[in-house]
Amino acid sequence: MNKKIKTALISVYYKDHLEEIVKKLDSQGVAIISTGGTKDFIEKLGIKVTAVEELTGYPSILGGRVKTLHPKVFGGILARMQNSSDQHDMAQYEINAIDLVVVDLYPFEETVASGAADDAIIEKIDIGGITLIRAAAKNCNDVVIIPSKDQYATLLDILDNQQGTTTPEQRSLLALEAFAVTSHYDAAIFDYFNGNRQKMVFRKSVNQARPLRYGENPHQQGVFYGNFDEIFDQIQGKEISYNNLLDIEAAVYLIDDFTETTFAILKHNNACGVASRTVLLDAWKDALAGDPVSAFGGILITNKKVDMATAAEIDKLFFEVIIAPAYEESALEILQKKKNRIILIRKNTALPRIQFRSMLNGVIEQDRDIKTETKADMKPVTSRVPTDTEYTDLIFANKVVKHSKSNTIVLAKNNQLIASGVGQTSRIDALKHAIVKARSFGFDTAGAVMASDAFFPFSDSVEIANEAGIKVVIQPGGSVRDQESVDFCNNNNMAMVFTGVRHFKH
């Protein structure tokens, strides 16, 4: 049944754009009830308003914690107009119907984000507001609920074009918005109290949604839930896809392990080119040299400002996405020539330290792998100890292997990825693939270092590495047959270090 708004309860924290709504309600003869600062705001507009205290006969108490929690308020909201028993109660207790509730909630999340003290955060847990929202939404057959300023435009449209008359469908949709607001708010409060994950339950609420062209494949639907714009500014380019997002995340996590001037190229979540150099142009050229074939259509990322000279070289390659903290204007002019290129500026935003994904009929969650080994974490287990230059390459290779799909082997030389074998069911296959690939692009594997994401169960991998001239190896260790690999290295003048840290990635 269509219903015309006659009585409104308005109690909001944010007063932005409220004036237009109040004036339209008044012009349409709607009676207005309000509280505290909102009542003062409406009165200053010269509009008649009834205080909640006048309606209930009780003042605001407990420092404002209790204002609207009264049967004359909630009876007016929850009363069912077609229910004779409800109508009898309303008449007996002199309760007037309220058919529009405009309310928002205290800024709990913003207060937490500000670093406020616990007492200040607790005071921003809304009680009356969220109860009003739930009550009005529950009784959406008779009541219109506006649960946040995000729905002001909808209300204004109803007032302008429907003279304050609402349809059941509109009220139901606004109730849906209301429960989206309350459920998100409660999830945020739960997350605050469960900061140390004492309660082993999964709660995640994200209000922002970004529909994607499709999912991993064209026949799959896809949506990104999150605030992409909080992390990136998109300068130009086509709509970002599901697969773009997977690659962008992999690229960001990889580059964050490097402080030196570094360029990386990724394809299907794996690095196909990485190089660290003093000059950005050199880093780009050497990253591309690592695998110029796979780089086609890849994701490019650097941790330094892109200059014109580097952009001119990048422009020669077809790529999907480029990410950098900044670009020279002349560099952007070059890169923007092809309009489909996605050009992203990465903002200085902290990334979550918890990861989760759907699994069977549930969700699995884990800490993100933020462990990055330094020289101090590398324990030499062979007679020959790596040189300082070899240690530098070991650190570089171990960073890349950490961000590659298991099973993986990475070969590096002079702070450059010369090849990797990724996503293999056998570590030997990963190594053989890396050696063949390195040589196919003109690299001499002699003098390179080898990194493995997990231990070697047998000595066969170090034997193959030795045949390729690779004399320095980094691995977690931990196999019951570690000594076989160590003995082979000692007998062939190879150096091996253990980190004690496995870096599986699936």
Tokens read off for 188:
């945020």
Given a contact cutoff of 8 angstroms between Cβ atoms, the answer to whether 299 and 270 are in contact is no
Q: Does an H or E element contain 429, and which? A: helix 427-440
CA distances from 45 to 18, 146, 151, 338 (A): 11, 21, 22, 53
Q: Does an H or E element contain 487, and which? A: helix 482-491
Closest CA to 229 of 244, 207, 208: 208
Q: Give the Cα separation of 220 and 443 in Å (integer).
A: 40
- Active-site residue 138, yes or no? yes
Q: Give the E-state strand segments of 368-469 in sequence order.
A: 379-380, 409-412, 417-421, 449-452
Other C-beta atoms closer than 10 Å to the C-beta of 171 total 24
- Active-site residue 219, yes or no? no
> Which residues 6+ apart lie within 8 Å of 312 measured at CB?
334
Given a contact cutoff of 8 angstroms between Cβ atoms, the answer to whether 298 and 267 are in contact is yes
Closest CA to 75 of 98, 52, 58: 98
- Phi first, then psi: what are they for 357, rounded to 5°? -160, 155
Q: Of these residues, 184, 238, 268, 285, which one is catalytic?
A: 268
Q: Of these residues, 15, 138, 238, 432, which one is catalytic?
A: 138
SS (H, E, C) 263-297: EEEEECCEEEEEEECCCHHHHHHHHHHCCCCCCCC
CA distances from 437 to 173, 431, 441, 464, 474 (A): 57, 10, 7, 15, 20
CA distances from 309 to 312, 313, 316, 328, 334 (A): 5, 7, 12, 10, 10
SS (H, E, C) 180-197: HHHHHHHHHHHHHHCCCC
Whole-angstrom distance between the N-terminal and C-terminal Cα of the chain? 54
Closest CA to 128 of 13, 18, 19, 43: 13
Give the residue numbers annotated as catalytic, written as ranges. 138, 268
